[in-house]
Amino acid sequence: MTIAIIGAGRMGQGLARRLVEAGETVVLAARDKAKTTAVAADIPGGKVKAAPVSAVGEADVVILAVPHPQTANALGEAGPLTGKVLIDITNPVGPERSLAIGLTTSAAEEVQKLISQARVVKAFNTIFADVLDLHLTDADTPPQVLYAGDHEFANQRVAGLISAIGFEPMAAGPLKNARLLEPLGLLTIQMRYALGHGSRTVPRFVEY
């Protein structure tokens, strides 16, 4: 399975590194070819390749890891992604870390409207990039990654990838629940930047 990541920043690089470690084939795509090639080459193992955003449709799974305001530009370049699993990790952060979109829609639902032929799953927006750097042992409780989507096949794919990188997948219902996951992402950001918690703080559902 090939996974293409649009966006070669903190999250794109961290996901690429973990997915390659898990044995997946990963390509990184961003706007600047030379920069993306250099970033890909720096990822340990030397297996991550750089590709233009216009080529991500060749992958089985595409991860959208660009700043929220760049969503339409990036997806416009990527094309229709018909039948592909598209993982939207964006947090719609507005001024002063407010939620830029919500209540009656979500960033993920807007992504689904933009690329109606893809199967969109919201995931990874509630963990920080630093969490992707964790070196876990079997004794550690793995970070929980919440995901929400309408397509069972796509949800299973995403859950499988979350497990493959050593994290715990937690189903959070249909894509509409991105309206709840995205504010949770923003709360996590507040916990870190306004309330002094560390960059490895992760929300987790526990059943007692």
Ligand X SMILES: NC(=O)c1ccc[n+]([C@@H]2O[C@H](COP(=O)([O-])OP(=O)(O)OC[C@H]3O[C@@H](n4cnc5c(N)ncnc54)[C@H](OP(=O)(O)O)[C@@H]3O)[C@@H](O)[C@H]2O)c1
Does residue 12 belong to the site contacting ligand X (CB under 6 A)? yes
Q: Which stretch binds ligand X (CB under 6 A): 16-24, 41-49, 70-78, 134-142?
A: 70-78
DSSP string, 144-157: EEEEEES-HHHHHH
20 binds ligand X (CB under 6 A): no
Interface stretch with ligand X, choices 62-70, 136-144, 153-161, 168-176 (CB under 6 A): 62-70
Structure tokens at 7: 């966006």
Residue 97 in the binding site for ligand X (CB under 6 A): no
- Which of the stretches 27-35, 54-62, 108-116, 155-163 binds ligand X when contact is defined by CB under 6 A? 27-35
Q: Which is nearer to ligand X, 24 or 124 (CB)?
A: 124
Residue 23's contacts (CB-CB under 8 Å, 6 or more residues apart) are 164
9 near ligand X, rule: CB under 6 A? yes
Query: Does 32 interact with ligand X (rule: CB under 6 A)?
Result: yes
Q: Is 90 in the site for ligand X (CB under 6 A)?
A: yes
Question: What are the structure tokens assigned to 110, written together?
Answer: 């807007």
Q: Which residues of 100-131 are buried (b: 16+ CB within 10 A; e: fewer)?
A: ebbeeebbbbbbbebbeebbbbbbbbbbbbeb
Site for ligand X in 35-54 (CB under 6 A): 53
Shorter beta-carbon distance to ligand X: residue 95 or 152:
95
Angle at 165 between CA 129 and CA 139, to 5 degrees: 95
User: Rounded CA gap, 63 and 90, in Å?
Assistant: 10
- Amino acid residing at 95: P
Residues that bind ligand X (CB under 6 A): 6-12, 30-32, 53, 65-68, 70, 73-74, 77, 89-91, 93, 125, 128-129
